[in-house]
Structure 1
């Protein structure tokens, strides 16, 4: 944190407040110190202003808390006065250094055009002149009068693009909150993480100062788990065109007018419509720099010329509205001319001049990986090194390629409820996630699958159109402030999205009736220690694990509820018991009573007999309910039963089918998705467990007071090491090289349907070959005895050749079919997208129908041909008997 750095960073020059035991200051020098101080207090400018007024006392920390994050050694004239009175200084140089600090601090914190900065320069000039007088009077030496070097003071060029850079580098949560405040004047989110501070006019932003210190603290942050929650923001990945626009905007801020004011300040924002309504009557296309910056941030400009067109509109508006002799008009004319020059200069530079320092190559059109295009705005699952069964829910904010050719994304994380710190009685929606301020870089290979996050106001109305049914859909209602561990309700969902997609919306398939949304207790409520935790306790900390992953688990507390927090929902009343079954009729046979559940033997499996019990939720073997692991996933993935003992101690099979209430530990079986190496396996497995039970009442499948079960297991280190390394390498392992064991097998992938001939066609082909063989045999029998051996040999040779050709043709057809199948699948994916399978099935069915029709036509044609040939043979056999018979046959 900036505050920590300020308090621990060494001073540029060692302080002189604690010098040697013996003071070297003479009495005349003590008197000179007081004289110089009094002169500064009494000095007035020609306009009668007091330049020392702002520096007489230290800055109020409550008014400007960020001042002490920037200034490491605050100093005021009152402090110098007290040090003189108490004779703290051990040398005259210490006095000079403290006086120089007053001016130096003001120059570091404030902007050059601010009043405080100008007053500091006046104080510095007065001090140097008074010290020069003391040198001439031989009170001090020239060496003692020299002002020490206290560090670099940012120049005008260092801060001219401070606003643009702060927008690019700041946590996007800041702009999110700012946009929400623009759309809603309510200040409920004023304490949002990253919200912009209100600084007094003229104060320099802390961004440019803290950047100089950032590199010093990188190593410390890597070792500090708590610092992870403050790291991460989308990196700046500018295309050459965007870099050129920023250079033009930066160059505009160098020019000052005759009053030493930056010319660009006139054009920062549009006039207030309530104060100057006539401006909007005269100017039809209002334009200001803040609007241009916003369009640049949202990727609205595709060329430099588009930005220059907006700048021209801005300058022309100022020239048409203001008088020719006004300062605004003059500044607009001058800036317009200089901006055009800047644009020509940046266009003349090659693109190589605008490559990012670390070699990042922007990929604004997205990254093609594993046959899918991943682009900004996509919702994804990312590998979670802390828990492979709960991938990170995130949204892509940046895509780029590094100098080694590797593809990267930057994504905003969304935490699951069990990864946050909240009150123990907090309730969440099922499948809820919360937006964080974590913007982390990931290799493209760490993307597991697609998912989707919907705002809670739309979640109950429908689902995104054409989104696969086997992909996860989450609901989001709040932002999570990791600094204060607070959940703040989101007012404008668009402010939570990347700039590139804020203006885009998605189509929905609406439900027939709105879905009823129910909140459930916190999934980590079991961590609450009733009787031990109090309202006055410190906020607990989450448990961190791998460096680039969310917390392993959050925490709960019972600190006082924030006034903006809604109270937990009222508990749902217990439904009334079902009415007793009607008495048996006297005429019914005696054995019919076996259908009554009260008389049913306890060793009969009736898990599917109760109408009120769903097949996806099983009843525990004892009254104590077993919790379902809370992860945003399909509800059918969780089945509660109690047949799993402690880790690595499997229960014998004969015990799993019996009822033992006290000894068994309740445990819920988690139907885990496929390992992360199998991309896209997030289908919902079905459950067929038949749980024996004996007259037990159905219990709830969820209990927040019991910890969730372990879903991934590994052997002890000693046992794991005993397995040969070549064997271990064939299994999925964690970062420590231990083999991972899952509570369920991965979901089986659906085999690809290969193209091939229908059974009907193959049968016809076989029949035709038999007909050809029969025809050849008949031709052989009808021919004379002469040359039978020769013809037979020739026929066999031809058959053998045909067989070889047929085999070669079949092999070639197989290769062609495989190539055709792959090409067809790729073509269908490109044309139909996610619905390619359904499209292929439809066209295969149509092809099969047409092939059947063609087969029928072929059979009919061959039948007709066969009849004509038969008639011709019969006509030839009779033709030699006489002309009259031949005519009769032909007729």
Structure 2
């Protein structure tokens, strides 16, 4: 990350600051410190052509509370915020140290994340940006080529293979699979039954391993879902005049690099693969809801393409055909969509024993092998068969003692592991409710509204029954049914998160005395058909590279001294020794149990000091990186892992990428700082031109060569063809004309509204002007009438004479005032003249 930032800052030279030459001894100069910060800020500002910010996942360090295994894999975590902090504190001794930190950002992301994940792809992008920025710094003379050289951080380890029992279904199903489901619902073909192998003895035909084969929940589609699938399958069959399938244009969205203008003009891009994914995830609540997305896809194609193009015509034809198919499907009764085996889906759940059991519920199911250990499972399907008997399909979770694992494996108390077993059970086989929590939330609280007597389990891993491996779950959402993946449950949090200590395997005692690392994997002991193993097994085979070692044993506390010895300790010694004990408790291994009792004080003056546990405590280099047992790190960041990992988990933490602080001022207050360039998403894409050699140019036919621009030697420049450029210019004119018409219409509408407002104001003013004299006349009459009433009230019969006298005296006073004002003005005028 640091390197990418450095490259970006280097890409923006400051014209007002002259570049100094590189010092031979590699000392850090002001220009180098400035270049570091510029590169860092350039990474923040970089955007891809579609507006995507590849640095978003690397703004802050990964929170180890949310991604506990990150620091076990990544030994030197680095983030953009760490780069800025080290630059501001002037911690780098030489520029190559900064380059190494930059290289670590992308290297760490590639090491921890899987290829093709968002974090992995973004790391490659910022790595290129770093390289470009460093090249510019070398060219400008700020650093040397040796300083800009990327260090060797080791090879990126090959990604572990996905477990065979990964529950995430493929995002896109093959057409022939869909056809086979609709036509025959996977009709059985003649031949040997599953599990039969040539040369097998009769006693071997029913291998217990058959029960370990991974399954999937059965297809139990509602009539609405079947209608949607029928429409999607129907529009695939329509062909154009040339025999091409019309749907091929709409299978996926256009390439962002080839058609950047598409994403600027089309605000809601959508394609068939997205619609199918939404249908599979059960995002549609009706056929009309589904048709809105289908119409949007065709409308987008018609808006972007010219009306005479083939894509435009195919979109118009398919849109009409899809609407006809939808009307036909909606007219059919739901009874026509029953499955051949008579299954009738119950999407709203099953009412049994006064309780509603629905998809996503965690349940205990009867275990024929051991009634004291019911099967822990989650409901995936609910339906009713032809005999009106109600069924569920549930995914089993094994208990540790039902698995095959290494004899030193440790588990959480009440831990279960997810399996690939999806089994059918009658509704009356459900015993009770329970709950399974992901290990990241298990220690923090308890699900709300869950009865206190219900069992709660913790899950951390998947169980591969083929290879007998436990693979840590990275995405909890992938373990849940589609219907509840985006739903979360409320929790009653504990006052303080519980510290949970893992315990040894409950079947560790089953390890044979003569077990060797070269022995074959043992087999579990099976019992009833529709039940987990009676008991698993343990082995001594070597661990995989990605398998964590067992926790170290808790060191034994020092021997307790008699009271007399404790009393002889000096006050200073008594104060220091408990601090040492507290340090040992906090620095113990994560898997070890914390010491619950304080270590007694030991006197210094001893001939043979008691042995102390070898507990080491190394303070973190960066105080902000250390999280004590009662400290919490702010959660407003996005980890360096794919965003789907956290956005789709049941926990549904509202993670939001912290916005980088604008670089408003340089790190040095006495130096000017140029403003960072503003990203313009509407800027035209640079045209890439390729020049051919003479041999390649001669191999191109003359008629083809004439369709391209040619350089001074007559060689075609393999950019866009003239035909494409002409159509592009025509399209741009068309878009500009439409934009101009819209602006004219908006202007006319605004002028009309303005004229209407002016007209209304004029009418109102006229009315006010007409009513004002009448209002004054009315007011005068009321004043005169009121005055007469007052005179009559106070003077009775003499009211008229008194009023006349008052009026006469008032008129005289007015005349006197006017005379005084006139006299004063004459005196002032005469004085000015003089």
Normalised by the length of structure 2, the TM-score is 0.45
Higher relative contact order (CA 8 A, sep 6+): 2
